[in-house]
Amino acid sequence: MRRVRSALCYGLAATAALLASPPLAGEPYPSKPVKIIVAFPPGAVTDTTARLIATRLTAALGQSVIVENKPGASGIIGTEAALKSPADGYTLTMISSAYTTVPALHRVNFDPIGDIAPIIQVSREPLVVAVTPALPAKNVQELIALARANPGKLNFVSAGPGTPSHLAAELFATRAGIRMTHVPYKGGAPALTDLIAGQTDLFFVPLPTALPHAKAGKLRAIAVSSRQRNEAVPDVPSVAESGLDYEVAFWVGLAGPKGLPRPIVERLNTEVTMALKSRETADRLRAHGSSIAAGTPEQFHATIKKEIELWREVAREAGLQPG
Whether the Cβ atoms of residue 166 and residue 183 lie closer than 8 Å to each other: no
Reported as a single tens digit per residue, the pLDDT across 46-55 is 999 999 999 9
CA-to-CA distance for 273 and 285, rounded, in angstroms? 14
Instruction: State whether residue 245 is helix, strand or coil.
Output: coil
Q: Beta strand 65-69 with 34-38: parallel, antiparallel or unpaired? A: parallel
CA distances from residue 198 to 83, 131, 144, 187, 208 in whole angstroms, order as listed: 39, 9, 19, 18, 20
Of 122, 121, 123, 101, nearest in space to 112 by CA: 101
Task: Return the pLDDT at 7.
Answer: 42
Confidence band for 2, pLDDT divided at 50, 70 and 90:
very low
> Cα separation of 209 and 20, whole Å?
41
For residues 320 and 169, give the distance between their C-alpha atoms in angstroms, rounded to a whole number.
13
pTM of the model: 0.88
Q: Which residues lie closer than 8 Å to 125 by C-beta, 6 or more apart?
A: 45, 206, 207, 208, 226, 230, 249, 250, 251, 288, 289, 290, 291
Give pLDDT, residue 9. 44
pLDDT in tens, 166-214: 999 999 999 999 999 999 998 899 999 999 999 999 999 999 999 999 9
Question: Which residues, including other chains, have CB under 8 Å from residue 100's CB and lie 6 or more apart?
Answer: 112, 304, 307, 308, 310, 311
Rounded-to-integer distance, Cα 315 and Cα 68, Å: 31
H or E element in which residue 175 lies = helix 164-176
Residue 289 — pLDDT band, cuts 50, 70, 90?
confident
